[in-house]
Structure 1
């Protein structure tokens, strides 16, 4: 049979371990939540920057002298098809 002193030490160690585990778990969860928020913010910023770059690239394409109106006498179907082939 264990003495009273041994029982007090055992249960004190058990309670200290439980308290440490509880506090440590809360700390780890808080750090993980902060990391997830930071990642989401950085990801959103990167997506916005990529979108702005894509929009700029799309809207600043050089305008060609290509005539796409089939009613125009200077219309050339071959040039239109070649131009469409380049963009695909």
Structure 2
């Protein structure tokens, strides 16, 4: 037969272990929840940024590389003539 003191120590150790396990699990679960929440926020921010970029690309005017100012150093007469020919071909 086991003495009552040893039984008290055993059950106290058991209860302490169970309480520690519950507390430790809560700590780990809170960390995991915070990590998932952060990941979800980052994912939504990336989606929002991609949507903004797509909207800008859709609604921005097309790039105009035709320079009609003859005083501009990037002026190209051949491109201007080709542009006029393309316009006249459509009419």
- 1:25-81 Cα deviation digits (max 9, x unpaired): 1111211221121111111111111111111122235279888xxxxx72xxxxxxx
Question: TM-score, length-normalised on structure 2?
Answer: 0.62
Number of matched pairs: 69
Task: Report what 1:52 is aligned to.
Answer: 52
Task: Report what 1:86 is aligned to.
Answer: none
RMSD: 2.3
Question: TM-score, length-normalised on structure 1?
Answer: 0.64
4+ long deviations beyond 4 Å? 63-67
What runs of 5+ residues in structure 2 fail to find an aligned partner? 65-82
CA distance in 1, matches of 2:12, 2:25: 20
